[in-house]
Chains A and B, each alone.
Chain A
Amino acid sequence: MLTKSISGSHAVILSLLEEGVTTIFGYPGGAIMPIYDALYDYDKRITHILTRHEQGAVHAAEGYAKVTGRAGVCFATSGPGATNLITGIADAMMDSVPLVCITGQVASPLLGTDAFQESDVVGISMPVTKWNYQITDAEEIPEAIAKAFYIAQSGRPGPVLLDIAKDAQFQKLESFSYKKCSKIRSYIPEHPVDPFQVEAAAKLIDAAKKPLLLFGQGVIIAQAEDELKAFIEKTGIPAAWTLLGLSALPSDHPLNVGMLGMHGNYGPNIKTNEADLIIAVGMRFDDRVTGKVSTYANHAKIIHLEIERAEINKIIKVDVPVLGNAKKSLAMLTLNVKPNSHEQWVQEFRTCDQIENEKVISKDIHPEKAGLTMGEAVRLVSEKTGNDAILVTDVGQHQMVASRYFKFKRSKSNVTSGGLGTMGYAIPASLGAQLGAPDRTVVTFVGDGGFQMTLQELGTIVQNKLPVKIILLNNNFLGMVRQWQQLFFEKRYSFTELQNPDFIMITNGFGMPAHKVTKRDELEAGIQKMLDHNGPYLLEVVVEKEDNVFPMVPSGASVSDIILEA
């Protein structure tokens, strides 16, 4: 495509169109005004979502990216606009979310002069971006944007930031032509899978008596859901997901043995230390998954299927690495292994499930006490949406409960902040998720703490008529911190109790209907009313103030020291 003499700003928009961008989340300001002016001419082809805060824009872009698998795009102005993006960019870096963030910058002659709304965004964002670049000449725009999308979306995805000086936005390009980026000499997004590594892995798999497969978001990013299923079904190996691996396999698959980690299921945690082989796929042995590293999976040989070389041997010493794209490596592995079954071993997980069910789950889902639990609300919403909704969660107790009790049929249905643990993520992420998946039901669980960090985005949801269903699980506490204070700090509840506002009135103030439920006999009808409502809706569920999330691997303990009750 060749266009004559256009401005840098138009080049930005045309480049985004070339990359297939249809949705941008952003917030205008002085240094990005030329780009916003150019955007004004493209309202038929690009939907711009004006959030109420730049943090909202970046989390919304993350939510959009998670459900579509494509890069989320956001705009912000220089200085505070750009610095407000940083939390979301750091979040995306930790969770491998593809983002292209475009920030305005003061005009290039003013760089380094402490000009109004100048901040060194390239410097500030460097540790939390996969790549970033400052543009001071409009001629660089098409190539830089092509590079940005290629880097953000290839290999292990991540956020990139382009900082565009205001004079470059005004400057005329001699001509505009766009060529997508397909390679960079210094960057190999994925290495071809080595058949020798696959063979070595297959040998270990065929010989294993108690193999356990752990899978993470890498399966979703690589779109390797079918390959994962084929592999476990051929080998009969039980599979456990990480927090970010949720929904990559249907919840009710007979070989799905639940969630790993600090508040994961009893079986996969206990059995990690009994397994003789761990096959890790697209996961990075986060400390919330491993617990105490020195005692982790000590009886097991480890196979690690991973796209990012630096992740191999980073935390856990691996016996057989399989470097490359999980879609390819899993398919090759499936061809190389012998059909097998491990019925008795899988049965041991089911026995663990029974124990967990008795000690934890039944009390959470069918409580006998008067107060409502987070667990019963989550399970009911899951069932009433046919276990086929997109789940968006914030960070804390409700996040762990929702991850444990929500059920999935389809991949890319879990939107949460894992690595960074960003409170305030859910409300803006939910609006991005809904825009990315307009035909699906998006249900968002949020606590009373996190809700108050970004609740201004209710305005964005209402303005754009996004039918997000928000379930506010209100325990009047910063619940997870309170739980730790109770268990590990002698119940010294230091600054975790909140004096909350009238959430219904606040939500109504934004023009969104809301309803409050405090008793069990109101819960089901409340949820039904929310789901039946055509449009956004907030249901406040007042839950027990001092409920705890169990099971729990105490911080610093081994995964097999998981506790079921206090």
Chain B
Amino acid sequence: MNQEFIITIFSENNIGLLNRITINFTRRKMNIESLTVSQSAISGISKFIIVVNSTKEKVVRLVGQLEKIVDVLKAFYHTNDEMIYQEIALYKVSTEYLFESDEVEKIIRDYGARILEITREYIVVEKTGHKEETQELFERLNQFGVPQFVRSGRIAITRDPIERLSEFLKERDALLSQMD
């Protein structure tokens, strides 16, 4: 059964690695729903967060293949309920609607969104949350017209009390010292 999985990849920060990672998805005809790359808490190590819709079996196999990549340190997969995750969305709305009625203001309040910028022509609204929430806000605001809308890739951290990467790196250091 297909469900959403969050794949977290820790890697060295090398050119071309993104491509090497994504071809593993393309090859298996798996669509990437969202992708974020950032520095991890450990300096020099990048963190990829990739969301896919697939079966557990395929995801397990994929993660195995991702770990084969020379520059990849470790890859994990989680279901949504095993992680805390957020996305951020920006919306551009014409300023006139703010003056015509209090409806737009009310929507922004209800959704816990905030206004980043107000100009004579438009306002920019920001909302963080799960995709369903940012999407819902889009639909509400779009009654008035949203000429520009953008949503980020997902960012996520585990519910584990420990950072699994630091533990993994400790084991890795031990392994590497055995190789001397």
Asked whether, in the complex, the Cβ of A310 is within 8 Å of the Cβ of B16, the reply is no
**Residue from A127, A183, A308 within 8 A of B68 (CB atoms):** A308
Query: Does A309 belong to the interface (CB within 8 Å)?
Result: yes
How many Cβ-Cβ contacts under 8 Å join chain A to chain B? Answer: 49
Asked whether, in the complex, the Cβ of B175 is within 8 Å of the Cβ of A131, the reply is no
In the bound assembly, the distance between CA atoms of A309 and B75 in angstroms comes to 13
In the bound assembly, the distance between CA atoms of A131 and B16 in angstroms comes to 11
Query: Does B64 belong to the interface (CB within 8 Å)?
Result: yes
Question: In the complex, what residue of chain B is closest to A182 when comparing beta carbons?
Answer: B179
User: In the assembled complex, which residues on chain B have CB atoms less than 8 Å from the CB atom of A127?
Assistant: 23, 27
Known: A126-B16, A126-B19, A310-B64. A186 touches B178 (CB 8 A): no
Asked whether, in the complex, the Cβ of A183 is within 8 Å of the Cβ of B176, the reply is yes
Interface set, chain B 44-90, CB cutoff 8 A to A: 60-61, 64-65, 67-68, 70-73
In the bound assembly, the distance between CA atoms of A122 and B23 in angstroms comes to 13
User: In the assembled complex, which residues on chain B have CB atoms less than 8 Å from the CB atom of A310?
Assistant: 61, 64-65, 67-68
Query: Does A1 belong to the interface (CB within 8 Å)?
Result: no
Query: Does B20 belong to the interface (CB within 8 Å)?
Result: yes
Asked whether, in the complex, the Cβ of A309 is within 8 Å of the Cβ of B72, the reply is no
User: In the assembled complex, which residues on chain B have CB atoms less than 8 Å from the CB atom of A126?
Assistant: 16, 19-20, 23
Query: Does A185 belong to the interface (CB within 8 Å)?
Result: yes
Asked whether, in the complex, the Cβ of A186 is within 8 Å of the Cβ of B176, the reply is no
From residue A275, how far is it (CB to closest CB) to chain B in Å?
25
Asked whether, in the complex, the Cβ of A185 is within 8 Å of the Cβ of B73, the reply is yes
Asked whether, in the complex, the Cβ of B70 is within 8 Å of the Cβ of A186, the reply is yes
In the bound assembly, the distance between CA atoms of A191 and B175 in angstroms comes to 8
In the bound assembly, the distance between CA atoms of A40 and B49 in angstroms comes to 49
In the bound assembly, the distance between CA atoms of A443 and B4 in angstroms comes to 54
User: In the assembled complex, which residues on chain B have CB atoms less than 8 Å from the CB atom of A182?
Assistant: 179-180
User: In the assembled complex, which residues on chain A have CB atoms less than 8 Å from the CB atom of B70?
Assistant: 130-131, 151, 184, 186-187
In the bound assembly, the distance between CA atoms of A122 and B17 in angstroms comes to 11
Query: Does B172 belong to the interface (CB within 8 Å)?
Result: yes
Contact with B along A286-319 (1 / 0, CB 8 A): 0000000000000000000000111001100000
**Residue from B61, B64, B175, B180 within 8 A of A188 (CB atoms):** B175
Contact with B along A185-198 (1 / 0, CB 8 A): 11110011000000
Contact with B along A165-192 (1 / 0, CB 8 A): 0000000000000000011111110011
Question: In the complex, what residue of chain A is closest to B44 when comparing beta carbons?
Answer: A185
Asked whether, in the complex, the Cβ of A123 is within 8 Å of the Cβ of B175, the reply is no
In the bound assembly, the distance between CA atoms of A308 and B15 in angstroms comes to 25
Query: Does B12 belong to the interface (CB within 8 Å)?
Result: yes
Contact with B along A95-134 (1 / 0, CB 8 A): 0000000000000000000000000001100110011101
Question: In the complex, what residue of chain A is closest to B57 when comparing beta carbons?
Answer: A313
Q: Which of B15, B23, B60, B70 lies at the interface centre, i.e. has the most chain A CB atoms within 10 A of its CB?
A: B70
Asked whether, in the complex, the Cβ of A314 is within 8 Å of the Cβ of B64, the reply is yes
Contact with B along A137-167 (1 / 0, CB 8 A): 0000000000000010000000000000000
In the bound assembly, the distance between CA atoms of A132 and B16 in angstroms comes to 9
Question: In the complex, what residue of chain B is closest to A160 when comparing beta carbons?
Answer: B70
**Residue from A134, A151, A186 within 8 A of B73 (CB atoms):** A186
Asked whether, in the complex, the Cβ of B11 is within 8 Å of the Cβ of A314, the reply is no
In the bound assembly, the distance between CA atoms of A552 and B60 in angstroms comes to 33
In the bound assembly, the distance between CA atoms of A191 and B174 in angstroms comes to 12
In the bound assembly, the distance between CA atoms of A184 and B72 in angstroms comes to 11
From residue B12, how far is it (CB to closest CB) to chain A in Å?
5
Question: In the complex, what residue of chain A is closest to B14 when comparing beta carbons?
Answer: A133
In the bound assembly, the distance between CA atoms of A400 and B44 in angstroms comes to 50
From residue A307, how far is it (CB to closest CB) to chain B in Å?
11
In the bound assembly, the distance between CA atoms of A210 and B12 in angstroms comes to 47
User: In the assembled complex, which residues on chain B have CB atoms less than 8 Å from the CB atom of A184?
Assistant: 70
Asked whether, in the complex, the Cβ of A183 is within 8 Å of the Cβ of B16, the reply is no
In the bound assembly, the distance between CA atoms of A314 and B20 in angstroms comes to 20
Interface set, chain B 6-38, CB cutoff 8 A to A: 11-12, 15-16, 19-20, 23, 27
In the bound assembly, the distance between CA atoms of A188 and B179 in angstroms comes to 9
From residue A319, how far is it (CB to closest CB) to chain B in Å?
17
**Residue from A186, A191, A308 within 8 A of B72 (CB atoms):** A186
From residue B128, how far is it (CB to closest CB) to chain A in Å?
32
Asked whether, in the complex, the Cβ of B64 is within 8 Å of the Cβ of A309, the reply is yes
Question: In the complex, what residue of chain B is closest to A151 when comparing beta carbons?
Answer: B70
In the bound assembly, the distance between CA atoms of A191 and B178 in angstroms comes to 10
Question: In the complex, what residue of chain A is closest to B27 when comparing beta carbons?
Answer: A127
In the bound assembly, the distance between CA atoms of A132 and B67 in angstroms comes to 16
Question: In the complex, what residue of chain B is closest to A130 when comparing beta carbons?
Answer: B70
From residue B60, how far is it (CB to closest CB) to chain A in Å?
8
User: In the assembled complex, which residues on chain A have CB atoms less than 8 Å from the CB atom of B20?
Assistant: 126
Asked whether, in the complex, the Cβ of B179 is within 8 Å of the Cβ of A183, the reply is yes
User: In the assembled complex, which residues on chain B have CB atoms less than 8 Å from the CB atom of A183?
Assistant: 176, 179
In the bound assembly, the distance between CA atoms of A314 and B28 in angstroms comes to 14
User: In the assembled complex, which residues on chain B have CB atoms less than 8 Å from the CB atom of A192?
Assistant: 175, 178
From residue B165, how far is it (CB to closest CB) to chain A in Å?
12
From residue A92, how far is it (CB to closest CB) to chain B in Å?
15
From residue B74, how far is it (CB to closest CB) to chain A in Å?
9
From residue B24, how far is it (CB to closest CB) to chain A in Å?
9
Asked whether, in the complex, the Cβ of B23 is within 8 Å of the Cβ of A185, the reply is no
User: In the assembled complex, which residues on chain B have CB atoms less than 8 Å from the CB atom of A122?
Assistant: 16
> Using a CB–CB distance below 8 Å, which chain A residues touch chain B?
122-123, 126-127, 130-132, 134, 151, 182-188, 191-192, 308-310, 313-314
Given contacts A182-B179, A308-B68, 6 further A-B contacts (CB under 8 A): A132-B16, A185-B73, A186-B71, A188-B172, A191-B175, A310-B61
Return 20 A-B CB contacts under 8 Å, by A number. Answer: A123-B16, A123-B19, A126-B19, A126-B20, A127-B23, A130-B70, A134-B15, A182-B179, A182-B180, A185-B172, A186-B73, A187-B70, A187-B71, A191-B175, A192-B175, A309-B64, A309-B67, A310-B64, A310-B65, A310-B68
> Using a CB–CB distance below 8 Å, which chain B residues touch chain A?
11-12, 15-16, 19-20, 23, 27, 60-61, 64-65, 67-68, 70-73, 172, 175-176, 178-180
